[in-house]
């Protein structure tokens, strides 16, 4: 039986801005079909790490392999990306935006299916500049899923959403996991990470300071009786309680 | 390269342009404002080059023919008579360059006042002096000759400049500024995450903007033609080719501005820094004939200079494409250089 190939392998990744190292020699692997969460305080290097994996920014050194090989020209055809901050073309409707982005790929899911999946039907004729923050997040998620990717990067997908919208985003992510998709998730919501992620890497100051399943991390770091048995306790214990920004 | 992706981006950009009501409205309204402006400037006497103040008169009941000033001053198409009730009112206007020369509306001795610091006043003084002389005395000294062929009206000379100027501003702001705004807001970053290449994106932007500009320029052209009946000496196909080449060249120039940067204020300043010298030195409003050689050399570095030179040769002189091939070659060469620089330096995010 052949060994299971990691869908992503990150090796000794380094990135600096203006002489300041923001990602400092991190390495990890992500297995296919899993949800890999990256947590960390603001400025920990999460977004930089993810954007290097997405091929949006260049690495200073290190290596990133996709399915055991260098990321080639077809990488962008096979991944779906939802950025933390993105504006869209203001005067396109939701449906036109999906159709426009669909045309960028060799093949894509039917736009109607994405509209249904992300519950965009009642706003599909609305211009992008007329939709709410939650509706915009659902559209951005729809764009990330449009090309039926093997690997999906979600950078804080539920930030700013109300509990109902967040639950809906979670249910879509769970659905993707059931379909065997691999998800890389960054989030500030510990509950979200605990609910969705199979493996979590906690970053601080450009390093991965801890990695494992949510249960394993809780078990390992919440041994004291007065320590609440949740991921937030683990996070605060490892990264401290003082403000970073 | 994928034509499907270029087409999708092209259609999306056109939707953006048409549905942005403020922007689209302005792009349609602006040409008509230009037409209306020209209508006012060229149909009224506001373009009379000299203003001659006359006192003492009751301004509401002035009959020019009854004034006690030389006939040649009253009948000139290029001198506007401005009546004043009192000397004090009139001299104040002369002092502030509101009029070029002041004369008294009295019989026997013809008195006039001039502001020595006014160049137009100096010229008008010569006209005023000449007006009191008998024309016979010129006959022995001067010989008048008419130029051959049809006269080129100033508006026929100016009009290609106005169109080209409009194209220049729309190219640089419509491409340069818009792409920088998209970069700042993350739209370009989102596109970078797709299979779209920089070449495909820039091609779609260019083609969309060129078509929009050719459309709006056509509206201005035919709108103005209704009012002023332009004298078009060359072929419409030839002028279309020059406008196409000129627009592509200016849009390509916009791509250089758009290739980097996320600061809209800086981009705005940079575009203005390029536009204003180009507008003045490329002879949009006035000729730079007689300027120093270095000014002419700088002007030759601007695409608008060659665009306008070719357009005027076709519109005013009836030149053919072969006769403007040097300008066409320079425009195409500049387009190639601008496109190469813009594409090489283009960044989705920086």
Tell me if B7 and A101 make a contact (CB, 8 A cut-off): no
Residue A70 corresponds to which tokens in the numbers above? 């260098």
Q: Which residues on chain A are in Cβ contact (under 8 Å) with B188?
A: none
Instruction: Sheet containing A8-17: give its strands across.
Output: A20-30, A8-17, A61-66, A69-70
Q: For chain A, how big is the Rg over CA atoms in Å?
A: 18
Inform me whether the C-beta atom of residue B264 falls under 8 Å from chain A C-beta atoms.
no
Q: Do A91 and B8 touch (CB under 8 A)?
A: no
Contact B190 A143 (CB under 8 A): yes
What's the confidence (pLDDT) of residue A241?
Answer: 64
In A, minimum Cα distance to B11 occurs at A100
| pLDDT for the residue numbered A242 | 66
Higher-pLDDT residue of A118 and B106 is: A118
Closest CA to B279 of B156, B163, B200, B188: B163
Contacts of B342 (CB under 8 A, 6+ apart): B202, B252, B255, B256, B258, B259
| Closest chain B residue to the Cα of A145, Cα to Cα | B194
Cis ω for the linkage preceding B56 (within 30 of 0)? yes
> Quick one: residue B176, left, alpha or beta (phi over 0 = left, psi -120 to 50 = alpha)?
alpha
Interface test with B, best of A18, A50, A72, A86 (most B CBs within 10 A): A86
Closest residue on chain B to A90 (Cα): B16
Choose the closest CB to A87 out of B16, B185, B196: B185
B5 neighbourhood in chain A, CB within 8 Å: 103-104
Give the C-alpha separation, A243 to A226, whole Å: 23
Considering only CA atoms, which of B154, B162, B155 is closest in space to residue B307?
A: B162
Compare all CA atoms of chain A with the CA of B18 and give the residue at the minimum distance.
A91
Contacts of A85 in chain B (CB under 8 A): 186
Nearest to A88 among B4, B187, B196 (CB): B187
Pairs of CB atoms within 8 A across A/B: 60
Task: Output the tens digit of pLDDT for each of chain B's 350 residues.
Answer: 788 999 999 999 999 888 888 877 777 677 667 767 766 766 655 567 889 999 887 767 778 778 888 888 888 888 888 889 889 999 999 998 999 999 988 867 788 999 999 999 999 999 988 888 887 888 778 888 877 766 777 778 888 888 888 889 888 888 888 888 888 888 999 999 999 988 899 889 999 999 988 988 888 888 878 877 778 889 999 999 999 999 999 999 988 888 877 777 888 888 888 888 888 888 887 777 777 888 888 888 999 999 999 999 998 888 999 999 999 999 999 999 998 888 888 888 77
Tell me how far apart the alpha carbons of residues B137 and B104 are, in angstroms, rounded to a whole number. 26
Q: Do A88 and B4 count as a contact with CB atoms less than 8 A apart? A: no
Across the interface, whether the CB atoms of B20 and A143 are under 8 A apart is answered no
Residue B262 distance to chain A (closest CA, Å): 14
Best residue of B179, B194, B350 to probe chain A, by most A CBs closer than 10 Å: B194
CA–CA gap between residue A193 and residue A186 (Å, rounded): 8
Residues of chain A that touch chain B, judged by Cβ-Cβ distance less than 8 Å: 54, 56-57, 76-77, 81, 83, 85-92, 96, 99-101, 103-106, 127, 143
Max CA separation in chain B (angstroms): 88
Strand order in B79-83's β-sheet? B79-83, B50-55, B101-104, B112-114
Per DSSP bridges, beta strands B101-104 and A8-17 are unpaired
What confidence score (pLDDT) does residue B239 get?
93
Among A86, A96, A103, whose Cβ lies nearest the Cβ of B186? Answer: A86
Residue of B nearest to A105 (CA): B195
Of A76, A89, A103, the CB nearest to B193: A76
Chain A residues closer than 8 Å to B186 by CB: 83, 85-87
B207: closest CA among B180, B169, B174?
A: B174
> Would the CA dihedral through A131, A132, A133, A136 be positive or negative?
negative
Residues B246-273: b if buried by 16+ CB within 10 A, e if exposed: bbbbbbbbbbbbbbebbeeeebeebbee
How far is Cα A29 from Cα A24, in angstroms, rounded to an integer? 16
Angle at A127 between CA A122 and CA A133, to 5 degrees: 75
CA distance B334 to B340: 10
Place of tokens 């259609």: B11
Q: Exposed (0-12), middle (13-18) or buried (19+): which is B39, by Cβ within 10 Å? A: middle
Supply B112's token pair.
């006039």
What is the per-residue pLDDT for A1? Answer: 43
Closest-CA distance, B335 to chain A, in angstroms, reads 27
Given CB atoms, is B16 within the 8 Å cutoff of chain A? Answer: yes
DSSP string for residues in B255-287: HHHHTS---HHHHHHHHHHHHHHHHHHTTSSS-
- For testing contact with chain A, the best of B8, B182, B190, B349 (most A CBs within 10 A): B190
pLDDT digits (tens, 9 = 90+) for A141-177: 999 999 999 999 998 888 877 888 888 889 999 999 8
CB contact under 8 A, A96 and B12: yes
CB A84 within 8 A of CB A47: yes
Q: Tell me, what's the pLDDT at B59? A: 67
Q: Per residue, what are the HEC states of A177-198?
A: HHCCCEEEEECCCHHHHHHHCC
Q: What percent of chain A has pLDDT over 70?
A: 96
Q: Tell me which residue in B7, B15, B194 faces A91 most closely, judged by beta carbons.
A: B15
Cα separation, B274 vs B255, whole angstroms = 13
The answer to whether the Cβ–Cβ distance between B190 and A88 falls below 8 Å is yes
Closest-CA distance of chain A to residue B4, Å? 6
ipTM: 0.87
Shortest Cα–Cα distance, A51 to chain B (Å): 10
The DSSP result for B159-200, as a single string, is: HHHHHHHHHHHHHIIIIIIHHHHHHHHTHHHHHHTSS--HHH
Q: Which residues of B touch A86 (CB under 8 A)?
A: 186-187, 189-190
């Amino acid at each position: 039986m052949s060994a299971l190939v990691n869908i992503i392998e990150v090796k000794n990744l380094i990135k600096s801005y203006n002489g300041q190292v923001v990602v400092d020699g991190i390495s990890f692997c992500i297995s296919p079909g899993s949800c890999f969460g990256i947590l960390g305080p603001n400025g920990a290097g999460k977004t930089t790490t993810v954007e290097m994996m997405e091929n949006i920014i260049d690495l200073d050194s290190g290596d990133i392999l996709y399915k055991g090989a260098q990321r080639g020209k077809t990488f962008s055809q096979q991944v779906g990306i939802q950025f933390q901050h993105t504006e869209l073309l203001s005067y396109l409707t939701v449906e036109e935006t999906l159709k426009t982005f669909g045309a960028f790929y060799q093949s894509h899911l039917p736009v109607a299916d994405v509209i249904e999946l992300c519950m965009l039907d009642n706003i599909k004729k609305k211009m992008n500049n007329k939709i709410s923050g939650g509706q915009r997040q659902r559209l951005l998620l729809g764009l990330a899923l449009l090309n039926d990717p093997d690997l999906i990067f979600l950078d804080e997908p539920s930030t700013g959403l109300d509990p109902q919208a967040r639950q809906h985003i979670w249910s879509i992510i769970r659905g993707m996991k059931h379909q065997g998709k691999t998800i890389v998730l960054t989030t500030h919501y510990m509950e979200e990470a605990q609910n969705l992620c199979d493996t979590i890497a906690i970053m601080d100051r450009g390093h991965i300071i801890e990695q494992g399943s949510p249960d394993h991390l809780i078990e390992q770091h919440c041994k004291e009786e007065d320590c609440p048995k949740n991921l937030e306790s683990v996070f605060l214990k490892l990264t401290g309680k003082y403000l970073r920004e | 390269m994928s034509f499907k992706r270029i087409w999708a981006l092209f259609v999306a950009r056109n939707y953006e342009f048409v549905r942005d009501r403020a922007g689209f409205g302005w792009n349609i309204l602006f040409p008509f404002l230009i037409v209306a402006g020209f209508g006012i400037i060229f149909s009224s006497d506001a373009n009379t080059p000299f203003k001659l103040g006359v006192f003492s008169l009751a301004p509401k009941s002035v009959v020019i023919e009854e004034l006690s000033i030389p006939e040649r001053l009253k009948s000139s198409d290029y001198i506007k008579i401005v009546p004043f009730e009192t000397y004090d009112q009139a001299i104040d206007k002369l002092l502030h360059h509101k009029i070029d020369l002041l004369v008294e509306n009295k019989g026997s001795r013809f008195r006039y006042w001039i502001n020595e610091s006014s160049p137009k006043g100096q010229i008008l003084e010569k006209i005023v002096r000449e007006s009191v002389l008998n024309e016979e005395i010129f006959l022995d000294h001067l010989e008048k000759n008419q130029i051959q062929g049809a006269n080129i009206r100033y508006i026929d000379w100016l009009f290609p400049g106005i169109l080209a100027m409009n194209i220049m501003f729309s190219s640089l702001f419509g491409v340069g500024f818009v792409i920088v705004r998209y970069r700042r807001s993350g739209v370009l970053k989102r596109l970078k995450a797709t299979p779209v290449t920089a070449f495909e994106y820039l091609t779609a932007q260019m083609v969309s903007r060129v078509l929009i500009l050719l459309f709006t320029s056509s509206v201005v052209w035919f709108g103005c033609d209704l009012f002023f009946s332009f004298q078009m000496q060359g072929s419409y196909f030839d002028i279309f080719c020059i406008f196409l080449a000129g627009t592509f060249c200016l849009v390509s120039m916009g791509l250089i501005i758009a290739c980097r940067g996320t600061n809209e204020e800086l981009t705005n300043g940079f575009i203005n820094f390029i536009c204003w010298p180009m507008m003045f030195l490329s002879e949009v409003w006035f000729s730079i004939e007689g300027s120093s050689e270095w000014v002419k050399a700088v002007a030759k570095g601007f695409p608008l200079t060659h665009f306008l030179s070719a357009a005027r040769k076709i519109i005013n002189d009836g030149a053919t494409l072969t006769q403007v091939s040097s300008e066409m070659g320079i425009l195409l060469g500049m387009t190639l250089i601008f496109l190469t620089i813009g594409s090489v330096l283009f960044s989705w995010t920086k």
